[in-house]
Structure 1
């Protein structure tokens, strides 16, 4: 019963029943990325384009989509990385999970959660004052 409720109401834990049904009914598998995410297309969206979606391997985390698949998902290209020999550019960094809300999140010096001293102001900044 618990698994049924999770599939019905929680999209962040994976695929909902609605997405599974839509995938079964209209989806055509296009490919899979190195993280195990599976990409589909089928039907049309509100703009008349082919609908595209991903079924994540694990938690639904949009930042886990590699750059090549991101471009395909957002209709920047009609050719999926599975249909071409996609090579990441040298300036593209490997995926890092979104750490917001975790103990590994970025906390600059001087924030409430980082006890390090805040950098001293150097005086090269002039605050804006109304009417000047």
Structure 2
């Protein structure tokens, strides 16, 4: 019941009631990614292409869409990742969502947000002064 009510009042929790109705009427399920996001297609967009969309498993965050599905959603490729036999290369890392704004965000050495001590100044820097 709670999830159904969230569809009335929020857009960031999976799908809205309007998206649920549109998906029920026109959507054809294409596949699902490793994060539990479900991908659909159906109907035509303003350019005459097949409309494609994603229903997020949890919070609506576009950085949770893996690269293969991103390409398919934006019509960069015609074949959905579930319909191709793609094997990542050894050097390719698994997809990670954008961690900016979270405790897992990258904080370089010397950053105020980094809990470590700042590196000591070596004295090899001379500050610029006007006219000097």
TM-score by length of 2: 0.77
In the alignment, structure 2 segments of 5+ residues that lack a partner are none
SS of corresponding position for 1:92 = coil
Quote how far apart the aligned CAs of 1:61 are. Answer: 2.1
SS of corresponding position for 1:51 = strand
Whether the 8 Å contact between 1:68 and 1:88 is mirrored in structure 2 is no
The separation in 2 between residues aligned to 1:62 and 1:119, in whole angstroms, is 39
Equivalent in the alignment of 2:35? 35
| Number of aligned residues | 125
Q: 1:10-89 maps to which residues of 2 (within 5 A)?
A: 10-89=10-89
Quote how far apart the aligned CAs of 1:91 are. Answer: 4.2
* Of 110-119 and 50-59, the range deviating more from structure 2: 110-119
* Of 50-59 and 109-118, the range deviating more from structure 2: 109-118
Quote how far apart the aligned CAs of 1:119 are. Answer: 7.2
In the alignment, structure 1 segments of 5+ residues that lack a partner are 128-132
Whether the 8 Å contact between 2:30 and 2:80 is mirrored in structure 1 is yes
Pairwise CA RMSD: 2.6
Q: After the TM superposition, which parts of structure 1 deviate over 4 Å for at least 4 consecutive aligned residues?
A: 1-5, 118-123
